[in-house]
Structure 1
């Protein structure tokens, strides 16, 4: 019987399974896993397609807690459950520090795993020779580093970006922009930083008119405001941010039309569901003015899920006989953690895992390399000693002061609970831990919880997936992908 069958799943609060008390149960489980490992065949033919899934801020504790969270939602104890990508045959660990900082931000890390070069905090698509905000230094072409998206495009492959953040946010922008500050998402941002937007082009401009950005076949996420002028309103009545008066959505459509390319712009879920992949070569989908909304809080009539966006992207990209590279970011995992709203972060992790399942079903392991990783961790930890099946969003036990402490908590952040007037620790007994707005306890107060510096996991399946085993620098990921496909500088390194 499968070790995750209902017979072996504990219900919250139930007694331990009798089977689990027998050594034979664990011997059988280990034997099955060992047999799978020994029978595993290496796939060493070139990868035609690659999908890189990025859980922004998806630390190892986040994966563990999300696994339990989803397992409990399905009626089990949760501990023995596995997220879809946890079943991938190969796993590695990457070191995430940046050139300038011990704990990276998403710009420096994005440049590492998409461009293969570590750089300074806040910098996108530029080497460590450029400091954050140094417009002049960024103009030197020798500081520009190129992404796997460009290498794929140069090889005739189709390319795409899917994200739940703004499409001009740090992680996706690392794939197509060369900019000294991740904050320069539109020209107004550049001006606000006392720089000249005519000299240092903003990220949105580079997305629509840059060498790599304009060649992207699929762009989906949020961020309409950065492509619209400040005196214009989008379909939902929200104003744009641009000072130059340019409507970059219209310019994107016009540029594609001039080149005779079949292009579609959509801004809601119904329109996305109506896209005909057979007759669409370029798709721009912008579903929010800023970031997309959390899955648990989104309007399902207007916002597609990350799985739905991934499915449409694959349908469009897979038409190319030369293959494709697709980057998919679950960016709101990071946002949930920054707000100490652990339930939202865990649910976004579950949603990313579902998108991985959809992508796996739509492709073949024989020719498609699928990776699932993170750019950095967060400070959320999982504390003992709750019993098996204890609600992951609940209380672990009581401390020496006889007050409860939660299973999940943060090293810092807005979830800090002030002591009482008598100096006693805040009592979380009557807090609504199951509310999506609940901020889990933090050790010290900050307006936003910080990233963490721990290593992150890399899960791999498909051609050359085995070269992602081991312990390596984050920038190795891009070069290993290039080797697996046979493109870019790493194509002839072996």
Structure 2
């Protein structure tokens, strides 16, 4: 007869009676062990907050999926002098609840920012490239707008007396910020709509309409070109309308640079519009004469918090996404750091008792991580080997079968592709294709990996190695994370659909208030 069942039962009995206490285990003195005990105790001590949420702050780092977030964590930790892997971002502490989020759109496995942001603002998934229209609407078809408009969270909260603000390092007419106020059959109709389209206005006009109606109180980001006529330098509006003049004529204050930003009156009453760049704001690494995301967040909270009825604020780190599209990890991570600083600022300026802060992303990118790298290998650089007798990596590079070192992070597609088109007229083959944007005749691509040095890989302008050649790297469909603290944050648990984020916010601000 086997003794295993008897022995197992005996061990369980000893554990149950406390005969084997944790402090008696040989690993009890390990820092990892005690840190583990502290981590679960912090979660045990966490109390469910069922207060109504007076304020809601939705913070979206565009393109900051689980992988990008991991890279940002290492980057910041290494910048601060650590090895990086054990660094904790401001929203990764036990005080924050978390969940995984499924990001697909109604008709797309790989999502677009417009419907993902729309799902968070309306509670339903939407179609690719549409903003805040129901599933019967169709992309680029103005005739499907009427009757398919969805009600946004801002439109629900504003009649309750709450103020509404938007901040983005992208254009304010871009997909994620536009989801707070706009309804459109195309995310690209930023300053015009097709001829004969009367069912909706362009996105920039919708923002000023929302400010005039009192829906939007505070809006700050890029995109100046979509608000001014073609007759003015950099303007894009063919209709000749100057929306900035319209906004200031309605009593709004306006800023375009750091000095004007610092001079704004944050009284909670004067409508506020700031447009710092013709298109998107600058990457954090290149930023001059415009405020940081953390500074804009602080200004918005100072302004909005003067409303005793509360507020809804959406904050977007839009350029995290753009740097990944460009295949440039350095700027992805420096803008990721700016986002983390903005989260820390929002947390510091608010009270967990009445403010629900949600930190998430709209989608991930097609980045990938190479191995096997030793601890502390610079996340921007090459993969160094594991030191079997120490903790930090060895001085030996890990090589591929081609005998060359490789960066820790790469992209599956993008501008940094190792494949390049062969020159015409040198006996190269032309390939006929009917697939996607490459429809027609395209050249044959070939190539091999370059021998990259650590110095080259750490250059801020270095493009990560990619496989499939694309002028702009693509999103991916994998999950993102959501982190939350404050009233009803505990509702984030497990794996959820992206539109559930709206329902948590609605429950915290509307349902809980009605039941009180």
- Relative to the length of structure 2, the TM-score reads 0.84
Shift in CA distance, 84/282, structure 1 to aligned 2, threshold 3 Å: same
Q: Secondary structure at the match of 2:285?
A: coil
Query: Does structure 2 conserve the Cα–Cα contact (< 8 Å) formed by 1:159 and 1:317?
Result: yes
Hey, what's the Cα distance between the residues in 2 that align with 1:111 and 1:93? Answer: 18
Distance in 2 (CA, whole Å) between partners of 1:438 and 1:451 is: 20
- SS of the residue corresponding to residue 473 of structure 2 reads coil
Shift of 1:133: 0.3
Q: 1:351 aligns with which of 321, 338, 342?
A: 338
Secondary structure of the residue aligned to 1:27 is: helix
1:373 maps onto 2:360 in alignment? yes
Residue 213 of structure 1 deviates from its aligned partner by 7.2
| 2:314 equivalent to 1:308 | no
1:124 counterpart residue number: 131
Equivalent of residue 133 in structure 1, options 140, 149, 170: 140
Q: Distance in 1 between matches of 2:52 and 2:447?
A: 63
What is residue 207 of structure 1 aligned with on the other side? 207
Pairwise CA distance, 1:278: 2.8
Residue in structure 2 matched with residue 12 of structure 1 by the alignment: none
2:142 paired with 1:147: no
* Aligned CA distance change for structure 1 residues 481 and 199 (closer, same or farther; 3 Å): closer
Aligned pair 1:159/2:164, yes or no? Answer: yes
Aligned to 1:404: 405
- The answer to whether structure 1 residue 273 and structure 2 residue 255 are counterparts is no
What is the CA–CA distance in structure 1 between the aligned matches of 2:302 and 2:166, rounded to whole Å? 14
Contact 1:103/1:453 (8 A) holds in 2: yes
Cα offsets for 1:397-456 (capped at 9, x unmatched): 211121111100001111112389996432223662222221101111111100010111
* Map 1:15-414 → 2, pairs under 5 A: 24-87=30-93, 88-138=95-145, 140-141=146-147, 143-187=148-192, 190-191=193-194, 195-196=195-196, 198-210=198-210, 215-233=215-233, 239-255=234-250, 257=251, 263-278=252-267, 280-299=269-288, 302-396=289-383, 397-414=398-415
Q: Secondary structure at the match of 1:444?
A: strand
Alpha-carbon RMSD: 2.1
Q: Is the 8 A contact 2:52 2:513 kept in 1?
A: no
Alpha-carbon distance in 1 for matches of 2:448, 2:126: 45
Q: Among residues 434, 457, 468, which one is paired with 2:458 in the alignment?
A: 434
Q: Which structure's CA Rg is the greater one?
A: 2
> For this pair of structures, how many residues does the alignment match?
452
Q: In the aligned structure 2, how far is the partner of 1:99 from the partner of 1:347?
A: 32
Any stretches of 5+ residues in structure 1 without a counterpart? 1-20, 234-238, 258-262
User: Residues 423 and 477 (structure 1 numbering): CA distance in 2 closer, same or farther, change over 3 Å?
Assistant: closer
Distance 1:404 1:419 in 2: 20
User: In structure 1, how many angstroms separate the alpha carbons of the residues matched to 2:103 and 2:514?
Assistant: 26
CA offsets, 1:155-201, max 9 Å, x none?
A: 110010000000000111111111100000002xx34xxx3355541
Q: 1:420 to 1:366 in 2, by over 3 A?
A: same
Q: Secondary structure at the match of 2:352?
A: coil
Contact map agreement 1:208 1:214 (CA 8 A) in 2: no
Cα deviation, residue 382, structure 1: 1.9
- 2:230, 2:419 → 1: CA distance? 41
**CA offsets, 1:464-487, max 9 Å, x none?**
100012211100101110101116
Q: Counterpart of 1:84 in 2: which secondary structure?
A: coil
Q: Using a 3 Å threshold, how does the CA distance of structure 1 residues 60 and 358 change in structure 2: closer, same or farther?
A: same
Uncovered stretches (5+) of structure 2, i.e. residues with no partner: 1-26, 384-397, 423-445
Partner of 1:348, secondary structure, is helix
CA distance in 2, matches of 1:493, 1:99: 33
Looking at structure 2, the residues matched to 414 and 212 of structure 1 have their Cα atoms a distance apart, in angstroms, of 42
Quick one: structure 1 residues 424 and 438, their matched pair in 2 at CA, closer, same or farther if it must change by over 3 Å? closer
Counterpart in the other structure of 2:488:
464
Query: Aligned to 1:417, what secondary structure does the other structure show?
Result: coil
**Residues 338 and 211 from structure 1, CA distance in 2 versus in 1: closer, same or farther, beyond 3 angstroms?**
same
Q: Which moved more, 1:439-448 or 1:418-427?
A: 418-427
* Contact map agreement 2:154 2:215 (CA 8 A) in 1: no
Distance, in Å, in 1 between the alignment partners of 2:401 and 2:460 is 29
Offset at 1:265?
0.7
Of stretches 426-435 and 339-348 in structure 1, the one that deviates more from structure 2 is: 426-435
